[in-house]
Amino acid sequence: MPRARETGVSNAVEVRGLDVLFEARGRRAQRTALAALDRGESRDALREASGVVAGVVDASLDVAEGSIVVLMGLSGSGKSSLLRAVNGLNPSARGSIGIKTAQGMVDVCGLSTRGLRRLRRHSLAMVFQQFGLLPWATVAENVAFGLSVRGESRARRDAMVKHQLELVGLDNWAEAPIASLSGGMQQRVGLARAFATEADILLMDEPFSALDPLIREHLQSELLALQARLGRTILFVSHDLDEALRLGSRIVIMDGGRIVQDGTPEDIVFRPANDYVANFARHVNPLSVLTARTVMQPLLSTAVDANGFAAEIDIDCPVGELLALTAKSDTPLLVLDQGAPAGRVDRKAVLDALAERMGSR
Amino acid sequence: MEALTDWLTAYRLPIGETIADFVDFLNTHAQGGFDLVSDTLEGLVEGATDALLAVPAPVVVVAVTALAWVLQRRIGFTLFAAASLLLIVNLGLWEATIETLVLVLAASVICMVVGVPIGILAAHRPRLNAAIRPVLDLMQTIPTFVYLIPTLILFGLGVVPGLISTIVFAIAAPIRLTALGVSNVPASLIDAGDAFGCTAWQRLWRIELPHALPSIRAGLTQCIMLSLSMVVIAALVGADGLGKPVVRALNTVNIEKGFEAGLAIVIVAILLDRLCRARAKPA
C-alpha cells in the first residue's frame, strides 16, 4: 500500500486498483480474465487458459506533486504497461487513475477521446526509450511538436522552443536535422519536447536505457538539475536500480504485473519485501543509499539537551556525510526529522551500520 | 475417359456470356453516365493537349530544361533534357510526344488522387486491405487487352478507353506503396503523436504522411512508368500519341518508324522518372 510520507503535499497521480489487460477481445473476455485474477490465478495460467495477458494487476500508487517516483522491475514486470496506462496509451480494464489538473482531479479511465486528448495536451507529457522524434523535422520543430499539436501561436512556440533548447544546452542546434544528432543529444530533444508543453506530470519510459553508461549518467544529472529548477512531477520507468536510487524519491518495484514493494530507496535496499526485491538490491553500495534515518538510534525522550551534541543534521543526511562528521568529533550528532529531534548518531553507530551492510554483500 | 470429357464439356459454364451480358446491361442502362465521364475526360485531355501544342516547341523545350535544373540541379541531366527534347522535335514526333505526355500525366494524376486515399484507408483498416489485395492483383495480372474490349464498348473509341485501361493497370502501384508507407510508421512515432494529444487527422498529416512520403513518391514514379508502358496499347483503341506510329509501323513492318517512336517513348520515360525523383542530397 502507498505510504503518505510527504504529508501536506497533494498527489499529482493517484492510481487505484488498476488492471491492464492485453489481447482481451470483448467485454466478456475481459470480465472472465478479471474474475480469474481475483481468484488469485497467476498470469501464466491466465495466458495459457485464455490468451489474455495481464500487464498490470491490482496496482495502487500515489505520486506526490514535485516528486520523482521510479517504477522498477525486470522486463515483462508491467512497469511500462502501468506507465502507459497513466496517459491512456494502454487502456485500463479496471480501476482508476486520478490526474491532477487545473480543473481538479480527473480520472483517465473514464475520459472521452476528447477529454483524454485535452489531458495529453496540457497535463501529461512523455519521454520515450526510442526517443520518438520526427526524423524529417528539425530539432526546433520537434521541440515545438506538442505546442503546435495543441495550436499554440507561432510566437509563443518560438519563444518556448528557444527557452527549452537553452535549458538542455542545444540552442546552437535548433535548425539541425534530427539524424545529425548523437543519441544523447536526441534524448535531450525528447526531454525538451516534454518540458515544452509545461505539463505538470512527466512520464518517462526508460528514457536513458538506449544510451551508453557515461551519457546516461550525464543525462540523469541533467534531469535532476532540470527538476530542481522546474519542480515537475515525474513517473520514471527503469530497470536499473542505480538509476532508480539516483533519481527516485520513492521506488516502486513490480513483479508479474503486481506492485511488490513501494518505499524509499533505503526501504528497498535494506528492508526488501521479498527475495525478488532483495535480488535487485544485492549489489548496491550501502554508501550510496544509507541515511541517518537507518543509522540513528531513536531518542527515548523528546526532551533533549542540544548542548550534548556536536551538530544537528537532517534525517535524510547521507551516510558519507555522517562518516565525515563523526570522524571529527567524539560527541554524537542530533538527528532532526522535520525540525524535531528524532535520534542520535555517533561514530560507532555509523561504523556498525556500514559494517553490517558491507558484511552481508 | 472420353465420357468424362464429354460430360465436362456438355454443360459449359457461361462465364464469358455473363460478363458480356453485364457489360451490355451497363451499356444500355448507364450509357448516360459513361458518356458523361467519356466526354469530360476527353475534353480535359484534348484541352490540355491543345494548350500545350499552342505553345511553340522551343519554348516548351526551354521550360522543361529550366524545370530539370530547378528540380535536380544537375548539369548532366539538364543538358540531357534539352538535347533529347530537341531530338524529338527533329524527328517530327513533337505533337505525338505532347499527346503521350498529357495522357500519361492525366492517368498518373487520377491514379494518385484516387490511389493515395485508398492506400491510407487500407493501411488503417486491415480488413479493407485484405479485401482489396486480390482485386489489385487481378487488375495487374489480367491481360490488358481483355479489359480493353469492355472499356472500348462503354466509353467509345478514342483517348478515354485508353486512359481508363491505363488507370486500371497503373493504380495498384500508388495504392500498394501508400499503404506500405503508412503502415510502416514506427510504433514509437505513433505513440509520440498520441501522447502529445494528436487527433487522427493530425497524426495523419504530421506523422504518417511525412513518414510515407518516400514510399508515395516511389508509387508516383512507378505509376508514371506503368502508364507509359500502356501508350502503345492505348493507341490500339484510338488514343493519339507516340503509340500510334508504333502501331502503324507494326502494321506496315516499318523498322525505322518503329524505332524512332520507341526512342521518343524511352526519352519521355527517362525525363519523367528523373524529374519526379527526390533530389540527390549534396554529399
Q: Smallest Cα–Cα separation from A86: which of A111, A67, A51, A104?
A: A111
d(CA B178, CA A213): 40
Distance from CA of A272 to the nearest CA of B (A): 34
CB atoms A121 and B207 under 8 Å: no
Q: What are the C-alpha distances in Å from A182 to residues A143, A173, A178, B85? A: 16, 12, 9, 47
Please give the backbone phi and psi of residue B105, each rounded to the nearest 5 degrees, phi first. -65, -40
Both ends of chain B: CA-CA distance in Å?
72
Q: What is the reported pLDDT for B2?
A: 85
| A–B interface: beta-carbon pairs under 8 A | 61
Of all helices (H) and strands (E), which one includes residue B224?
helix B209-229
d(CA B158, CA B152): 8
Note the ipTM here.
0.82
Q: What is the reported pLDDT for A1?
A: 39
Residue A169 near residue A92 (C-beta atoms within 8 A): no
Distance from CA of A225 to the nearest CA of B (A): 24
CB atoms B210 and A134 under 8 Å: yes
| Interface test with chain A among B190, B191, B196, by most A beta carbons within 10 Å | B196
A203 touches chain B (CB under 8 A): yes
CB atoms B191 and A132 under 8 Å: yes
- Within 8 A by CB and 6+ apart from B63, the residues are none
CB atoms A146 and B188 under 8 Å: no
Residues of B near A (Cβ–Cβ under 8 Å) read: 186, 188-189, 191-199, 202, 206-207, 210-211, 213
CB atoms A120 and B186 under 8 Å: no
- pLDDT < 70 regions, chain A: 1-8, 302-304, 306, 359-361
Total residues found in chain A within this entry: 361
C-alpha cell at B123: 493501411
How wide is the angle at C-alpha A267 spanned by C-alphas A299 and A61, nearest 5°?
120
CB atoms A131 and B188 under 8 Å: yes
Nearest by CB: B192 against A117, A132, A197: A132
Q: What is the reported pLDDT for A343?
A: 87
Residue B232 near residue B247 (C-beta atoms within 8 A): yes
The alpha carbon of residue A67 and the mean position of all alpha carbons in its chain are separated, in whole angstroms, by: 8
Q: Which residues of B touch A146 (CB under 8 A)?
A: 196-197
Q: What is the reported pLDDT for B282?
A: 53
What strand order describes the sheet that includes A124-127?
A124-127, A201-205, A233-238, A68-72, A250-255, A258-263
d(CA A126, CA A228): 19
Q: Smallest Cα–Cα separation from A314: which of A349, A351, A288, A339?
A: A339
DSSP state of A58: E
CB atoms A145 and B196 under 8 Å: yes
Q: What is the reported pLDDT for A103?
A: 86
Q: What is the reported pLDDT for A88?
A: 94
Question: pLDDT tens, position by position, for chain B (283 residues)?
Answer: 788 888 888 888 888 889 889 888 888 888 888 889 889 999 999 999 999 999 999 999 999 999 999 998 899 999 999 999 999 999 999 999 999 999 999 999 999 999 999 999 999 999 999 999 999 999 888 888 888 888 888 888 888 998 999 999 999 999 999 999 999 999 999 999 999 999 999 999 999 999 999 999 999 999 999 999 988 888 988 888 999 999 999 999 999 999 999 999 999 999 999 988 877 665 4
Q: What is the reported pLDDT for A7?
A: 52
CB atoms B196 and A203 under 8 Å: no
